[in-house]
Structure 1
Amino acid sequence: MPQLFLLFMSFSLAVEALHSFMQDESEHKHYLIVSAVTNLLVNLLGVWFFRSYARVNIVYRKAEDMNHHSICLHVLADSVRSAGLILASWFLSLGIENAEVLCLGIVSVAVFMLVMPLFKATGNVLLQIAPGNVPPSAFIKCGRQITACEDVSEVSQARFWELVPGHAVGCLSIRLKNSSDDESVLEYVHGLYEDLGIHDLTIQTEKS
């Protein structure tokens, strides 16, 4: 996944900065300014194309939003890296000691901060965390409303998560009384959770 690649890149830059600090400054290689500037300009053009996703934190309303945000952050992180190379080269030309270490360290931290929100959002989907846009109290309230129905004996195994960004799903089990009207209860339950944005709900019913 791109976010993992960016995290590894930030760690790699941090290790490179530490390695540069331990070396003699005279052994450092000079940066290729022309290549770095060209790479930066190309990356900035890419950021412009994905400018609507050029934010660290963004609300994902559909799966494509996460993909586009991931691409944009990838290009943006590469832009930061190119800018760091240019800055380090300039500092070295001014005779500033440990310029490479300083710039690589700044770039490493910047890339890490850029990718962490996307990494957390992806982790929440993979770990099937409850939808963040729905407060836990809302789920508790729905459970109480269902339990309060005269045709319902018990509600159990209620679980809700985001299948993909912007699309939450859920499942629960309902024990109904023998004289209950299954269709009306199911329609009522689906209506409650649709108001919360849960449009894909699996309900298991059984008679008491």
Structure 2
Amino acid sequence: MTYLSSRNGEDIESVYRTAEDMNYHSVCLHVLADSIRSAGLIMASWFLSLGIQNAEVLCLGLVSVAIFMLVMPLFKATGGILLQMTPPSIPNSALSKCWRQITAREDVLEVAQARFWELVPSHVAGCVSIQVKKGMDDRPILQFVHGLYHDLGILDLTVQTDEI
């Protein structure tokens, strides 16, 4: 797993290179959460021995916040995959540039739809629907489109061409 951050260090985003990275991270977080929970129980019993009332509630709140903060990056990454969101590793500006380059071709009338998502971490898939002029050979267009998106790291691409 790799961590990316902005210059000021505020935005931290986890990027998993493989599905196994995500699995290992979830196992590690599970063990760490169990350890934090055990430490919270020990701390609560110590606070109770000092006579602090509601020590269980205090420690339970601290443990809950700590575990939530630890698992949030995994939740965000998993949620992005399950919701089939556009991967954060591919900038929207790059996708827009590809869209413009395709529509700039003489034989292309319109790019009707373009959709990209992660199947598993670091494995992006996509589909594009293109309307081309009637009677045009679509093989050069298909090669061009596949080449554009291949350069972005989208290896599984379905291109549908419709003649108008």
TM-score normalised by the chain length of structure 1:
0.69
Distance 1:176 1:102 in 2: 65
Asked if the contact 1:169–1:198 (Cα under 8 Å) also holds between the matched residues in 2, the reply is yes
Q: What SS does structure 1 have at the residue aligned with 2:125?
A: strand
Show the counterpart of 2:119: 163
Asked if the contact 2:149–2:155 (Cα under 8 Å) also holds between the matched residues in 1, the reply is yes
Show the counterpart of 2:87: 131
Identity of aligned residues (%): 70
Report whether the alignment pairs 1:59 with 2:37.
no
Runs of 4 or more above 4 Å deviation:
none
Q: What SS does structure 2 have at the residue aligned with 1:58?
A: strand
Distance 2:157 2:77 in 1: 22
Report whether the alignment pairs 1:193 with 2:149.
yes
Asked if the contact 2:130–2:159 (Cα under 8 Å) also holds between the matched residues in 1, the reply is yes
**2:96 aligned partner, one-letter code:** I
Residues 38-57 of structure 1: matches in 2 within 5 Å? none
Q: Count residues with an aligned counterpart.
A: 155
CA separation of 1:157/1:77 partners in 2, compared to 1, >3 Å: closer, same or farther? same
Report whether the alignment pairs 1:86 with 2:39.
no
Distance 1:105 1:155 in 2: 51
Shift of 1:178: 3.2
| Larger CA Rg, structure 1 vs 2 | 1
Asked if the contact 1:151–1:179 (Cα under 8 Å) also holds between the matched residues in 2, the reply is no
Choose 124-133 or 56-65, whichever is displaced more. Answer: 56-65
Shift of 1:193: 0.6
Shift of 1:65: 1.4
Distance 1:149 1:71 in 2: 49
Q: What SS does structure 2 have at the residue aligned with 1:154?
A: strand
Distance 2:14 2:103 in 1: 36
Shift of 1:155: 0.9
Shift of 1:144: 0.5
Asked if the contact 2:14–2:77 (Cα under 8 Å) also holds between the matched residues in 1, the reply is no
Ranked by relative contact order (alpha carbons within 8 Å, sequence separation 6 or more), the top structure is 1
Distance 2:110 2:77 in 1: 33
List gaps (5 residues or longer) in structure 2.
3-11
| Counterpart among 173, 177, 182 of residue 133 in structure 2 | 177
List gaps (5 residues or longer) in structure 1.
1-51
Asked if the contact 1:60–1:165 (Cα under 8 Å) also holds between the matched residues in 2, the reply is yes
Report whether the alignment pairs 1:146 with 2:115.
no
CA deviations 1:137-167 (Å, max 9, x no partner) are: 2111101100111121111111111111111
Q: By percentage of residues, which structure has more helix? A: 1
CA deviations 1:44-79 (Å, max 9, x no partner) are: xxxxxxxx79xx953111111111111111111111
